């Protein structure tokens, strides 16, 4: 698990550099990962599960207006696709699949989840673009 190793290395660096805020945030993240492993009864979670957890923690930090925590968690998330590229992918799916606008959103979202760059897709932004494209 490259992501877990990176988080642990960053925690060690934060401890060594006396970066209290980063240290606390990473300890919470590791604790949440361990809790999730226990709940799912898996020793090694899939990287996708960990990324979902990080996105959830980031969303909580955004809602609590904690920019430092958002910045720290952002380091572990893949870069989101730019809106223009996401729009291109959606248009391509609509063209290729000849999607009916009335049934489109679910079909397009399933296709986006199967796309090679799905980890980089912001689902909310994708939904907004899809609505603009098919309505």
Model pLDDT, residue 135: 65
Q: Which two tokens stand for residue 88?
A: 């291109």
Does the predicted model carry a pTM greater than 0.85?
A: no
Rg (CA), the chain: 18
**pLDDT over threshold 90, residue 12:** yes
| Domain boundaries of the chain, sorted by first residue | 2-74, 83-134
Sign of CA dihedral 52, 124, 75, 20: negative
* Assigned superfamily of 2-74: Uncharacterised protein YqeY/AIM41, N-terminal domain (1.10.1510.10)
**Mean of pLDDT values over 92-114:** 75
Whether the CB-CB separation of 51 and 33 falls below 8 Å is answered with no
Contacts of residue 37, defined as CB under 8 A and 6 or more positions apart, other chains included, come to 43, 44, 45
**Mean of pLDDT values over 50-58:** 87
Whether the CB-CB separation of 83 and 126 falls below 8 Å is answered with no
**pLDDT over threshold 80, residue 99:** no
């Amino acid at each position: 698990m490259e992501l877990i190793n990176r988080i642990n290395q960053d925690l060690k660096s934060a401890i060594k550099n006396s970066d209290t805020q980063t240290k606390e945030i990473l300890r919470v993240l590791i604790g949440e990962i361990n809790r999730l492993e226990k709940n799912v009864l898996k020793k090694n979670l899939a990287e996708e599960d960990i990324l979902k957890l990080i996105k959830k923690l980031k969303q909580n930090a955004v809602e609590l207006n904690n920019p430092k925590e958002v910045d720290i968690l952002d380091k572990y998330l893949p870069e989101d696709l730019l809106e223009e590229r996401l729009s291109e992918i959606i248009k391509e799916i609509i063209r290729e699949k000849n999607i009916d606008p009335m049934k489109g959103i679910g079909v397009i979202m399933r296709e986006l989840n199967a796309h090679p760059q799905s980890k980089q897709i912001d689902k909310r932004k994708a939904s907004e673009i899809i609505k603009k494209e098919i309505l």
